[in-house]
């Protein structure tokens, strides 16, 4: 493909000949022929076959929003001629990253790396990779696509937060939960012995009275059960930055629970996004799911999602509008603790609701400072 410089030289050569030939200037014809020959030689230079082996690696494949992600480009010259004037162009969403590749000698290899934009959260295709080969004077350029597009997952940013210690229902000793993990120390009742029970938990007085071997049933008294609701209505946010912060807040609140191996449900205006039950590595699943959340004009209000959230535990509702505070207040009696996180600039005289802790967050550092301990 002829570049702008090549077309400019070709047009200039024609104009020089058109202006000088009628006046009998033989130099004009020489200059015109030389210019057109240079453009033709540049085109032939780029048409020459280039035996290049090109491979691109993206590392890491999952990254938090704003953190560095790097593409490493490996170029090997399998031909007999040195190749210079190579320019790699990679596309990452709507951004084109351009990097110059040093001259590659015969049977030699070059490796270059370049940063990928990670400001926008989501599944980000990287590529296809285009390698431009130009002649030494930049008069012609040829683009060749190599390989396939790689995938970069840009996930929400998080800050360390403490889990909200709030149980679902309580008895005299604390939380009564049939799903509580073993190893807790709260007495919750008696049941018959089954093979495998620890004999140290045998309740000898009841065994003597009933004639049946009875053991004490123990439950955890401090098991947090958290519901995180992210308002995904487009009307609740003034722009993309506020919504991205809201997703970061939701990720921070949910991961504070999953990293301690406790259950959490994440709900949006489209329904339940993920239900982590306290298993290992579930914080990764939470971040992967939240990486794909988008605003929507069809999203339901938070109160609609809360109707299917059950009762008990802690509630964290995140929104960019104060109107969602009323949704948290409407269901606060169903939860042991209720938090409303407003993202974006605070408003003077902002509303408050009894029984709901309101946190104003313009960034994640402010969230961490105001988070209950």
Q: What is the pLDDT along the chain (373 residues), one digit of tens a residue?
A: 777 777 787 888 888 778 877 777 777 787 877 877 877 776 776 666 567 888 999 999 999 999 999 999 999 988 877 877 788 889 888 888 999 888 888 888 999 999 999 988 999 999 888 887 776 677 777 778 887 889 999 999 999 998 776 544 444 444 444 444 444 455 667 888 888 788 888 888 888 988 988 888 765 554 557 899 999 999 999 999 999 999 999 999 999 988 888 889 999 999 899 998 878 888 999 999 999 999 999 999 998 888 777 777 899 999 999 999 999 999 988 888 999 999 998 888 888 899 899 999 999 999 999 998 7
Residues 233 and 320 in one domain: yes
* Domain finish residue from 155, 179, 203: 155
Residues 238 and 254 in one domain: yes
Tell me whether residue 269 is in a domain.
Answer: yes
As a whole number of angstroms, the longest Cα–Cα distance in the chain is 129
Residues 30 and 102 in one domain: no
Residues 263 and 358 in one domain: yes
Q: Which domain holds residue 32?
A: 4-47
pLDDT of residue 78: 85
pLDDT of residue 41: 73
Tell me whether residue 165 is in a domain.
Answer: no
pLDDT of residue 170: 41
pLDDT of residue 182: 44
Tell me whether residue 161 is in a domain.
Answer: no
Tell me whether residue 67 is in a domain.
Answer: yes
Residues 143 and 269 in one domain: no
Residues 77 and 150 in one domain: yes
Tally the domains of the chain: 4
pLDDT of residue 168: 43
Residues 276 and 350 in one domain: yes
pLDDT of residue 179: 44
Q: Rounded to a whole number, what is the distance in angstroms from the first to the last CA of the chain?
A: 64
Residues 273 and 239 in one domain: yes
Residues 198 and 287 in one domain: no
Residues 88 and 69 in one domain: yes
pLDDT of residue 234: 94
Q: What secondary structure, in 3-state letters, does the chain show?
A: CECHHHHHHHHHHHHHHHHHHHHCCHHHHHHHHHHHHHHHHHHHHHHCCCCEEEEEEEECCEEECCCCEEEEEEEEECCCCCECCEEEEEEECCEEEEEEECCECCCCEEEEEEEECCCCCEEEEECCEEEEEECCCCCEEEEEEECCCEEEEEECCCCCCCCCCCCCCEECCEECCCCCCCCCCEEEEEEECCCCCCHHHECHHHHHHHCCCEEEEEECCCCCCEEEEECCEHHHCCCHHHHHHHHHHHHHHHHHHHCCCCCEEEEECCEEEEEECCCCCHHHHHHHHHCCCCCECCCCCHHHHHCCCCCCCEEEEEECCHHHHHHHHHCHHHCCEEEEEEECCCCCCCCCCCCCEEEEECCHHHHHHHCCC
Residues 178 and 311 in one domain: no
Residues 191 and 234 in one domain: no
Tell me whether residue 163 is in a domain.
Answer: no
Tell me whether residue 160 is in a domain.
Answer: no
């Amino acid at each position: 493909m002829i570049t702008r410089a090549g077309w400019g030289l070709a047009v200039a050569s024609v104009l020089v000949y058109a202006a000088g030939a009628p006046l009998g200037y033989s130099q004009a014809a020489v200059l015109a022929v030389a210019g057109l020959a240079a453009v033709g030689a540049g085109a032939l230079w780029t048409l020459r076959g280039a035996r290049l082996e090109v491979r691109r690696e993206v590392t890491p494949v999952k990254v938090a929003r704003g953190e560095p992600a790097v593409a490493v480009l490996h170029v090997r010259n399998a031909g007999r001629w040195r190749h210079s004037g190579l320019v790699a162009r990679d596309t990452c969403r709507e951004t084109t990253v351009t990097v110059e590749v040093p001259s590659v000698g015969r049977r030699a290899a070059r490796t270059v790396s370049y940063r990928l934009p990670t400001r926008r959260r989501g599944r980000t295709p990287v590529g296809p990779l285009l390698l431009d080969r130009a002649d030494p004077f930049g008069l012609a350029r040829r683009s060749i696509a190599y390989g396939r597009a790689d995938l970069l997952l840009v996930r929400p940013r998080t800050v360390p937060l403490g889990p909200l210690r709030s149980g679902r229902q309580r008895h005299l000793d604390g939380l009564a939960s049939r799903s509580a993990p073993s190893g807790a120390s709260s007495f919750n009742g008696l049941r018959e012995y089954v093979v495998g029970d620890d004999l140290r938990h045998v309740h000898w007085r009841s065994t003597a009275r009933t004639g049946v071997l009875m053991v004490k049933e123990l439950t955890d008294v401090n098991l947090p059960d958290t519901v995180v609701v992210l308002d995904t209505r487009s009307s609740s946010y003034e722009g993309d930055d506020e919504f991205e912060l809201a997703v970061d807040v939701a990720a921070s609140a949910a991961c504070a629970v999953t990293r301690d191996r406790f259950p959490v449900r994440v709900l949006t205006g489209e329904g339940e996004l993920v239900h982590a039950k306290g298993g290992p590595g579930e914080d990764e699943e939470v971040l992967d799911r939240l990486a794909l959340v988008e605003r929507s004009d069809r999203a339901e209000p938070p109160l609609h999602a809360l109707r299917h959230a059950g009762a008990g535990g802690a509630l964290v509702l995140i929104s960019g509008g104060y109107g969602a505070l009323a949704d948290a207040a409407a269901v606060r009696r169903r939860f042991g603790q209720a938090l409303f996180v407003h993202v974006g600039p605070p408003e003077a005289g902002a509303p408050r609701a009894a029984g709901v802790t309101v946190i104003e967050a313009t960034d994640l550092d402010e969230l961490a400072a105001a988070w209950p301990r």
